[in-house]
Structure 1
Amino acid sequence: MRLVVVSAGLSVPSSTRLLADRLAGAVQGKTAVDIEVVELRELAVEIAHHFTNGFPGRKLAQALDAVAGADGLIVVTPVFSASYSGLFKSFFDVLDQDALTGKPVLIAATGGSARHSLVLEHALRPLFAHLRAVVVPTAVYAASEDWGAEGLPERIERAAGELAALMGGLSAVRAEKTVKTEKTVKDAFDVVPFAEQLAALRPAG
């Protein structure tokens, strides 16, 4: 399964990327996934150009394809003005409107104060509900004081477990549908030799 991590951190190193990596590592510890990280900081210029000319640059196109083709997503944004960052929102604005339909998503955010933790519920969850994604119940917020403190590792593990379970369940459903479809197609196009068809029409005896 393919897990794509979208990080909107701006600094290097970034607490947003750190949280994204810890979440991805926790998911990988629970199920077999190939991880790809999309750093929005590196795509800022191409995202802006997309708004003005309507066409994604090469790197942005690759990132959009990765997100659309993922079996699950982890999305992490820093908090700006009590909401997600403009860069974070802009990336999902240029994504095809149907790309996240039915896709499992784990939402997370970082900020300087625990007072902004509700950004997960009043900004991120409604955004991905609008995009028709399947958002896992546990969202993860990390304030400055949370690093190294009790509680954050447990939230990371719980959220990662929910995403891994959802990805595995949906993957199994897709595999079952594929098998049924292939069987239906095979049955529809099975070739019966003419001699056998003729023999079946002859009266017995």
Structure 2
Amino acid sequence: MKIVALAGSIIGSKTKTAMIKVREMIENKYPEHEVTLLDLADYTLDFSDGRNYFEYDGDTKYVTETIMGADAIIIGTPTFQASIPATLKNIFDLLPVSAFRDKVVSVVVTAGTAKHYLMAEQQLKPILSYMKAHIVPSYVFIEEKDFLRKEIVNDDVLFRLERLIEDTVLTSEAYEIIRAQKDEEYDF
């Protein structure tokens, strides 16, 4: 299985720290799966101009094709102005409407305070649903107080990240079985 851990911002350290931890946890618990960390701060991406994702080149082509080739995606996003950052929205705009069909998507949200807890429910999940994702229902919300010196120091957050990863992998495996059963129904 191919898993993409997407750090959806080009500034700040909390979301990147969380997604590095996600990658480490996947590599330790599920070494048989291929995990790729895409930190948007490491790439120079074009703004979406309506072209198909495969018509772009350079970093934009690499990032979009890596996402499209994934079986599961764990999206990490900070909360900016009670919503997702423009860099993450641009990724969604670069991809086709049905980009997440047959993909399991889960979410990790970082924010300064608990006031933005519902941002994922109100802003991010509707976009993922529109793009045909199989969304893992629970998500991990990490506050400023859960970090110290670019490390997650709250054991409950670490436990919830482990559970999110497990739910993502198990859900993806279940959908793979369902797809295989549906494919067997056809005689060709």
Q: Is the 8 A contact 1:77 1:85 kept in 2?
A: yes
Q: How many residues align?
A: 180
Of 173, 183, 188, the match for 1:168: 173
CA contact (8 A) 1:9 1:15 kept: no
Counterpart in the other structure of 1:203 = none
Query: 1 or 2, which has the higher helix percentage?
Result: 1
Q: Which of 144, 149, 156 does residue 151 from structure 1 map onto?
A: 156
Q: Which stretches of structure 1, 4 residues or longer, exceed 3 Å deviation after superposition?
A: 27-31, 52-55, 172-178
Q: Is residue 2:22 matched to residue 1:23?
A: yes
SS of equivalent residue, structure 2 residue 49 = helix
Q: CA separation in 2, counterparts of 1:106 and 1:27?
A: 13
Q: 1:172 deviation in Å?
A: 3.3
The structure that has the greater radius of gyration is 1
How far 1:52 moved relative to its partner? 7.9
1:1-205 equivalent positions in 2, closer than 5 A: 1-11=1-11, 14-31=13-30, 32-44=32-44, 46-48=45-47, 50-51=48-49, 55-147=55-147, 148-175=153-180, 180=184, 184-185=187-188
Find the aligned partners of 1:139 and 1:96 in 2 and give their Cα distance: 24
Q: Deviations over 1:19-51 (max 9, x none)?
A: 11222333344433101122222445x322x42
The alignment partner of 1:63 has SS state of helix
Distance in 2 (CA, whole Å) between partners of 1:99 and 1:166 is 18
> Are the aligned partners of 1:6 and 1:38 in contact in 2 as well (CA < 8 Å)?
yes
Change (3 A) 1:177 1:29: farther
TM-score, normalised with respect to structure 2: 0.83
**Pairwise CA distance, 1:140:** 0.9
Q: Go from structure 1 to structure 2 and tell me whether the alpha carbon gap of 1:6 and 1:17 turns closer, same or farther (over 3 Å shift).
A: same
Give unpaired runs (5+ residues) of structure 1: 186-205
Classify 1:93/1:157 alpha carbon distance in 2 versus 1 (closer, same or farther; 3 Å).
Answer: same
What RMSD in Å do the two structures reach over aligned CA positions? 2.4
Letter in 2 for 1:96: P
**Comparing 18-27 and 158-167, the one that deviates more:** 18-27
Whole-Å separation in 1 of the counterparts to 2:138 and 2:77: 16
